[in-house]
């Protein structure tokens, strides 16, 4: 639904109610100015964006070399040798 900025100023509650079921696009001088999006849709979008960012982070993590992983037996052998 498209509305003008002046229409939004006259009756904002009406358009926020409509935004619960559909996006409300606000225009100013015939140009797109803003958008009112329902909370459920915005929350869903935020969750998807956060998940995508997490996947990108996981994909770019460097792999951990095997020798950095804790090995209890190795630690005991090194203690016996007096290295640790």
In the beta sheet, which residues pair with residue 77?
Answer: none
CA distance 3 to 59: 42
Half-sphere exposure of 43 (CA within 13 A, CB side): 4
pLDDT tens for 30-45 read 999 999 999 888 899 9
pTM higher than 0.85:
no
User: Residue 57: which pLDDT band, with cuts at 50, 70 and 90?
Assistant: confident
Q: What is the pLDDT of residue 74?
A: 85
How does strand 24-28 pair with strand 31-36? antiparallel
Question: What is the CB neighbour count within 10 angstroms for residue 31?
Answer: 6
Q: Which residue has the higher pLDDT, 1 or 83?
A: 1
CA distance 34 to 24: 8
């Amino acid at each position: 639904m498209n509305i003008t900025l002046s229409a939004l100023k006259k009756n904002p509650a009406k358009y926020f109610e409509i935004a619960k079921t559909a996006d409300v696009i606000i225009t100013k001088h015939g140009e797109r100015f803003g958008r009112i999006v329902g909370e459920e849709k915005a929350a869903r979008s935020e969750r998807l964006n956060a998940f995508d960012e997490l996947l990108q982070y996981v994909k770019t993590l460097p792999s951990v070399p095997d020798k950095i992983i804790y090995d209890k037996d190795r630690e005991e052998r090194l203690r016996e040798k007096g290295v640790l």
